[in-house]
Amino acid sequence: PDSGQEGQASLTGNQNTYDEYLDVLPGEIYYILINNFADNFTGDPEPFMLTFTGSSVSADQDTALDCTLRDEFLGLDIVACEGDDPITISALNSPAGADIASVEWTVDYEDDGIIDDTLTGSGDFGAELVIVSPNTGRYFASITTASGSPPTVSDDSGVLVTFYGTPILERVETLDTNLSIDPDQNNIEFFVEGDGVYEYAINDGVFQDSPVFMNVPPGVNTVIINDKNGCGITDPLEFLVVGYPKFFTPNGDGINDDWNVEGIETLSDPVVFIFDRYGKLLKQLGSTDAWDGNYNGQQMPSTDYWFRFEYGEQEDALLVAKTRKTHFSLKR
């Protein structure tokens, strides 16, 4: 109240005192215990009111703070890892107090608003429920009171228990390839089984939250997927990007000594024709061939060379003939 004394301790019979404000920080959860003890006349709990104020609330009361009062007696949602010890939740902290005759447990495994099963509790009144990995779901407790007033007490929101496991790579999709004209780079996206929160790193690079990677090298690459809940990390997983190297260095050091389209063996009827700048055909390559930079036993000079790549690709269950014409560099 405006007439109250800021920071004054609560006084019996004094309705005009209030606690000093709490300066909250983003990303944190705060708990408020309200002891609305009964007065000396009616035995009913004292009414109370909470008011959230501040410049951010005044600017946008709908989105500045989540001021929802939570009274779910099963507690906050629980995150665990597959293979962890069983989790026990309890209905003993409900508003029914000791007035419990029995507890009925139900679960919505898909968290879609449809109850999937009725479960058997344990302990006194069946008021505890043991949840074993990996039974993710939203669990509810309905208490039948001994006094019948009220007849039942329920936690309508329930508690969501989520078990996360080690990430499983489902597939890698090519968004763009340098075999296409625009954009002239290889862009891919990873898809993971499960609903965890993941981060990704390719070719021993740094982790990023996005599953989309731009300008990935053609050929065999590796990805490591980490569950940010701490529930597992994969070994390096290989994936293939079909594309062509922009250059090669046939100097005999065992690195980039020959050239062909990487991943060509995954395509239908692939053939590559390599030309010099004047249009002279130097080499024809199949899926198992590579060019070493020579023509008729002579080393070709360091410069750009052109190629025409013909192959078939499935589109909507049809095999479509495609052609790509561009160039790459020979460096000695």
- Give pLDDT tens digits for 109-119: 999 999 999 99
Instruction: Say whether pLDDT at 85 is over 50.
Output: yes
More confident residue, 118 or 61: 118
More confident residue, 320 or 285: 285
Query: Considering only CA atoms, which of 258, 272, 261, 267 is closest in space to residue 310?
Result: 272
Instruction: Say whether pLDDT at 1 is over 50.
Output: no
pTM above 0.95, yes or no: no
Chain segment 256-276, per-residue pLDDT in tens = 999 999 888 888 889 999 999
Domains and CATH numbers, the chain: 1-69 (no CATH), 72-164 (2.60.40.10), 168-241 (2.60.40), 247-330 (2.60.40)
Highest-scoring range by mean pLDDT, 61-70, 74-83, 223-232:
223-232
User: What's the chain look like in SS3?
Assistant: CCCCEECCCCCCCCCCEECCCCCCCCCCCCCCCCCCCECCCCCCECCCCCCCCCHHHHHCCCCCCCCCCCCCCCCCCEEEECCCCCEEEECCCCCCCCCCCEEEEEEECCCCCCCCEEECCECHHHCEEEECCCCCEEEEEEEECCCCCCCEEECCCCEEEEEECCCEEEEEEEEECCCCCCCCCCEEEEEEECCCCEEEEECCCCCECCCEECCCCCEEEEEEEEECCCCCECCCEEEEECECCCEECCCCCCCCCCECCECHHHCEEEEEEEECCCCCEEEEECCCCCECCEECCEECCCCEEEEEEEEEEEECCEEEEEEEEEEEEECC
Integer CA distances (angstroms), 14 to 3, 10, 52, in order: 11, 7, 22
Chain segment 6-41, per-residue pLDDT in tens = 555 555 555 555 555 667 787 777 777 766 665 556
Classify 187 as helix, strand or coil: strand
Query: Considering only CA atoms, which of 269, 221, 213 is closest in space to residue 241?
Result: 221
- pLDDT, position 34: 67
Own/partner long-range contacts of 208-215 (Cβ < 8 Å, ≥24 apart): 212/175, 212/187, 212/188, 213/187, 213/188, 213/189, 214/185, 214/187, 215/185, 215/186, 215/187
Q: Residue 269 is which amino acid?
A: D
Instruction: Say whether pLDDT at 280 is over 50.
Output: yes
- pLDDT, position 145: 92
- Per DSSP, which regions of 54-178 are E strands? 78-81, 87-90, 102-108, 117-119, 128-131, 137-144, 152-154, 159-164, 168-176
Mean pLDDT, the chain, whole residue set: 84
Q: Residue 255 is which amino acid?
A: I
